Amino acid sequence: MIANVDRNSLRRGEPLGADAVAQLFTEARTHNAFHELPVPDALLRDALDLAKMGPTSANQQPLRVLFLTSTVAKERLRPALMSGNLEKTMGAPVVAITGYDLEFYEHLPFLLPHADAKSRFADNPDLAARSAAQNGTLQVAYFILALRAVGLDAGPITGFDPAKVEREFFPDGNIKANVIINIGYGNDAKLFPRSPRLSFHEMATIL
């Protein structure tokens, strides 16, 4: 079996170092309070540049992001937030509204030039909407981990009124609001204890 293995590939088969695993997964936490430190726009760009490398079906990349960095922009979001998310969101240095573009297929001639993928979605709005939601949500998760990868902390929330967000920020109607992510340098002193996780056998079976 080993004979047909490319050694360059095998070198790739190493786990990440412990520090990287901690930063992305095991020590990273959802933050509800952030230090009063500015977040450079360049880091937001870096994080999105990493996130967009994650795989999507037919390379459709439906994720769209509005980064609210000014007080004026954040105040436009206030009426859509559930009360429990008001203080932490208005207090975050940056608030990212993620959404997915129902008309992502307009980009497919560029993104997937070797196939006519555009017409398959353009002719079937239900399929396009399901696929945009699925792939746009995968990209939200890539983006959360990418924010951590560039050294930022994330506090994703879903407790808001998506219809209000869409009316205010996506009035053209082709972008659906998905997850809001509060972004900054998290204040560890304000963390709650970590909540439990399911065991392997509660989540998975090996057949």
Nearer to a second copy, 18 or 125 (CB): 18
For residue 128, what are the β-bridge partners? none
Binding residues for a second copy restricted to 71-100, rule: CB under 8 A: 73
Is 2 a residue that touches a second copy (CB under 8 A)? yes
Binding residues for a second copy restricted to 138-167, rule: CB under 8 A: 138-142, 144-146, 149-154, 156-159
CB 77 within 8 A of CB 165: yes
Nearer to a second copy, 26 or 83 (CB): 26
Binding residues for a second copy, how many (CB under 8 A)? 93
* DSSP reduced 3-state for 186: strand
Among 32, 85, 89, 178, binds a second copy (CB under 8 A): 178
- Whole-angstrom distance, CA of residue 79 vs CA of residue 200: 40
Nearer to a second copy, 123 or 169 (CB): 169
Q: Which of 150, 149, 206, 145 is nearest to 181 (CA)?
A: 145
Cβ neighbourhood burial of 90 (10 Å; 0-12, 13-18, 19+): middle
Helices (H), 17-154: 18-21, 41-51, 71-77, 83-90, 108-111, 117-122, 125-149
Kindly state the smallest distance separating residue 50's Cβ from a second copy, in Å: 4
Rg, Å, the chain Cα set: 19
Site string for a second copy, 14-53 (x = CB under 8 A): xxxx--xx-xxxx-x-x----xxx---x--xxx-xxxxxx
Among 40, 55, 79, 173, binds a second copy (CB under 8 A): 55
Kindly state the smallest distance separating residue 58's Cβ from a second copy, in Å: 9
Nearer to a second copy, 126 or 202 (CB): 202
- Spell out the residues 6+ positions from residue 136 whose beta carbon is closer than 8 angstroms to its own: 62, 63, 64, 98, 99, 100, 101, 176, 178
Kindly state the smallest distance separating residue 6's Cβ from a second copy, in Å: 6
Site string for a second copy, 105-134 (x = CB under 8 A): --x--xxx------------------x-xx
- Spell out the residues 6+ positions from residue 15 whose beta carbon is closer than 8 angstroms to its own: 21
Kindly state the smallest distance separating residue 85's Cβ from a second copy, in Å: 11
